Structure 1
Amino acid sequence: MQTVTFSTIGKPTDTLQVVDAALPEPGPGEVRIKVIASPINPSDLMFVQNLYGIQPELPSGAGFEGVGIVDALGEGVTMRTGIRVSFTAIGTWSEYVLANQRSLIPVPDTLSDEVAAQLFVNPFSAYAMLEESGLQPGQWVLLTAAGSSFSKLVIQLCKLKGIQTIGTVRHNDLDAELKALGITAIVNTKKEKLTNRVKALTEGKGVTCVLEAVGGNTASDALKCLAKGGTMILYGVLSLQNPSFNAGLMIFRELTIKGFWLTDWMRRVDSQTRQNVARNVITLLVGGQIQVPVEATYPISEIKKAVEHSEQPGRRGKILVKPNQ
């Protein structure tokens, strides 16, 4: 089978390789999955550069989620083969991959492969992070990197919940799409001062919450936009630059900064909560209330082209790897 691996830490387009490997055999509690499609997420690329919450054991596969067909069962697994599932594992950019049976989510026929491939990382994160934020109808949230697939999901969920959204961009080529999704206001940080615009939009009060993924000066400026008692949730550092925060601002406005990592959130909450999130996310996706568009698909043999495409600004959807394309 063909699979994507890397043996050294570095830029994905330099380190990723496509190799032929033996078909893996599932161990106890595992299943083998014939992969249909797998997205390229920022977390996948951070992992290859050893900038993620877990370290790769070299040589390592790449890709964290996907959709596929259960092909073989390990000892102790009671489910049947032939089921189409969303799953998480390390090494999903592959024709076949092993996954723990606990990571599998059976997907309904009404959910396309392209949507099911993206079921976990972004939709679960968006849904869970909004729950963590405690945002209520009428309140304001600031989204940095508003053009990302994650932020687009948050915008759609906030529209359903009656939450007002402000999004930062560096280019205005996605404005029409963001407005169609329901964003309340867009701030181009290259042309406008973020703090002034947020102050004007919120009648001087500031936002209740910031969902921050950029780091550096963007995060530092976003913190200044919080209302008294507000919360910033950090879930990424796309700029690879650490922000600097004003201690006095945090003290006298009683601000909270906390991180969010879906892997830890899934471990922390009970099984009923996980099942509820899965059911609610699938219902929203099947009903078309939230959408996860795809811009392009690539075969495994063109993984470097796929990664380059995924890093281009102004994308209107996710890039998928399809092993059998």
Structure 2
Amino acid sequence: MKAMIYRHHGEPSNVLALHDSREIPAPGSGEVLVKVRRRMVHPIDDLMIRGIIPLPIPESGLVPGGDGVGTIEAVGPGVKLSSGIAVGARVGLFDAHGTWSERVIVPAADLIPIPDDVSDEAACQVMINGITAATLLREAAASRGAAGEGAPLLVTAAGSSVGRNLIALAKMRGLKIIATVRSKPSADVLSATFPGITVIDTSDSDWKERARAVYGAAPSVAIDPIGGAMIADLLDVLADRGTLLTYGGMDHSPSTVSSIALTVRGLTIKGINTPVAVADLSADQRVDDLNDIFDMVRANASSLADYRMVPLTDAVKALSAAQETPRRGAVLLTSEA
């Protein structure tokens, strides 16, 4: 069984290595063994391997990866079988651990059955990213002056996989969207993918003025995974009493934020951790989110069609490909064994 492992933090090409073992793990009570065929490559994977987000590394090493799509190969004792959870069923992995491996053991309760009309490649792109997008839109709707009340919603890094999922879900819900990217080529690619959506290049000196003017009112909610200097810019763009939802740190340099501006204008900054937020949802809310996500996949097949597949054994190459600009879609690690 092949897996990519690192035993030290550092440059992926220096620390990430292929491990091959004849041993196939057996699921314990309440667990299943999944043969993984597709996994997304996320920015956070690179940050974790480099130690920018430092995780403790056991002596045996760490296998990257937090999501994927595959087939149930074995079921442990105590697992209640159903049409979606049984040997041979296609399932998605959300908030799993170590999916850059040909097989992985996961709790049966964490699996997501994949509808027959949704491909592995499409499903893989919405496991973490689609669920993150649905979570962020729920938080936006709950925020003061939320986009659901008619104010525009600003999405940064909109060419990313999460950004594309956000746009597609927001369009389904009839929300007003302002999408921002950091270069003209990225803007051109995104505009072609989502005709009719306002896309703004933040390398233009007047981008903030344009964002405030698009709908005749400043956005009340901004959703951002970039951080760094972008935080102060987004607070400038937001309407008074607006909310900035942050869910990452692509620019992991410190942000300079004026507490006076926050206080006087009544602004809010809130960090969103998707697994934590999802854990707080009711079972019905989770089902509603998944139904929305799969409906979004069916309605926006073209936005998920521009992906690249890289063999699991070329994970270093996949990490580099995921950093390329302009963003043209997801990078998927694939294995068939």
Amino acid at match of 2:20: D
Residue by residue over 1:81-123, the C-alpha shift from the partner in whole angstroms, topping out at 9 and shown as x without a partner, is 1111011321111111111111111111111110122232111
Superposition deviation, residue 125 in structure 1: 0.8
Aligned to 2:168: 156
Aligned to 2:39: 38
How is 1:198-209 mapped onto 2 (pairs within 5 angstroms)?
198-203=211-216, 205-209=217-221
Are the counterparts in 1 of residues 34 and 74 from structure 2 also a CA contact under 8 Å? yes
In structure 1, how many angstroms separate the alpha carbons of the residues matched to 2:298 and 2:247? Answer: 26
Residue by residue over 1:134-182, the C-alpha shift from the partner in whole angstroms, topping out at 9 and shown as x without a partner, is 1216421222212111111212222222322222222111334422415
Aligned to 2:71: 69
In structure 2, how many angstroms separate the alpha carbons of the residues matched to 1:56 and 1:261? Answer: 22
Residue by residue over 1:52-81, the C-alpha shift from the partner in whole angstroms, topping out at 9 and shown as x without a partner, is 496554511111111111001122113221
Aligned to 2:28: 27
In structure 2, how many angstroms separate the alpha carbons of the residues matched to 1:183 and 1:62? Answer: 37
Does structure 1 residue 126 correspond to structure 2 residue 133? yes
In structure 2, how many angstroms separate the alpha carbons of the residues matched to 1:149 and 1:227? Answer: 27
Are the counterparts in 2 of residues 27 and 75 from structure 1 also a CA contact under 8 Å? yes
Pick from 141, 147, 157 the counterpart of residue 145 of structure 1.
157
Residue by residue over 1:223-250, the C-alpha shift from the partner in whole angstroms, topping out at 9 and shown as x without a partner, is 1111011100000110111211111111
Are the counterparts in 2 of residues 234 and 257 from structure 1 also a CA contact under 8 Å? yes
Unaligned runs of 5+ in 2: 142-146
Of the structure 1 ranges 68-77 and 8-17, higher mean CA displacement relative to structure 2 is found in 8-17
In structure 2, how many angstroms separate the alpha carbons of the residues matched to 1:290 and 1:136? Answer: 26
Aligned to 2:274: 262
- State the identity as a percent: 28
Are the counterparts in 2 of residues 34 and 96 from structure 1 also a CA contact under 8 Å? yes
> In the superposition, relative to structure 1, how do residues 144 and 287 fare at CA in structure 2: closer, same or farther (>3 Å)?
closer
Aligned to 2:292: 280
Aligned to 1:14: 14
Residue by residue over 1:6-41, the C-alpha shift from the partner in whole angstroms, topping out at 9 and shown as x without a partner, is 111123333211111221221211111111111101
Residue by residue over 1:258-284, the C-alpha shift from the partner in whole angstroms, topping out at 9 and shown as x without a partner, is 011111011111222112211221222
DSSP-derived class of the 2:25 partner: coil
Are the counterparts in 2 of residues 47 and 55 from structure 1 also a CA contact under 8 Å? no
Are the counterparts in 2 of residues 140 and 207 from structure 1 also a CA contact under 8 Å? yes
In structure 1, how many angstroms separate the alpha carbons of the residues matched to 2:52 and 2:108? Answer: 27
In structure 1, how many angstroms separate the alpha carbons of the residues matched to 2:214 and 2:89? Answer: 49
Amino acid at match of 1:304: V
Pick from 83, 93, 98 the counterpart of residue 87 of structure 1.
93
TM-score (norm 2): 0.89
In structure 1, how many angstroms separate the alpha carbons of the residues matched to 2:140 and 2:58? Answer: 34
DSSP-derived class of the 1:108 partner: coil
RMSD: 2.1
Pick from 183, 200, 209 the counterpart of residue 187 of structure 1.
200
Greater than 6 Å deviation, 4+ residue runs: none
Unaligned runs of 5+ in 1: none
Are the counterparts in 2 of residues 68 and 86 from structure 1 also a CA contact under 8 Å? yes
> In the superposition, relative to structure 1, how do residues 295 and 284 fare at CA in structure 2: closer, same or farther (>3 Å)?
closer
Amino acid at match of 2:99: T
Aligned to 1:3: 3
Aligned residues: 324
Does structure 1 residue 211 correspond to structure 2 residue 218? no
In structure 2, how many angstroms separate the alpha carbons of the residues matched to 1:29 and 1:90? Answer: 16
Aligned to 2:48: 47
Are the counterparts in 1 of residues 187 and 201 from structure 2 also a CA contact under 8 Å? no
Superposition deviation, residue 209 in structure 1: 0.4
Amino acid at match of 2:44: S
> In the superposition, relative to structure 1, how do residues 287 and 184 fare at CA in structure 2: closer, same or farther (>3 Å)?
closer
Does structure 1 residue 102 correspond to structure 2 residue 112? no
Of the structure 1 ranges 284-293 and 61-70, higher mean CA displacement relative to structure 2 is found in 284-293
In structure 2, how many angstroms separate the alpha carbons of the residues matched to 1:23 and 1:168? Answer: 45
Of the structure 1 ranges 89-98 and 180-189, higher mean CA displacement relative to structure 2 is found in 180-189
In structure 2, how many angstroms separate the alpha carbons of the residues matched to 1:266 and 1:318? Answer: 23
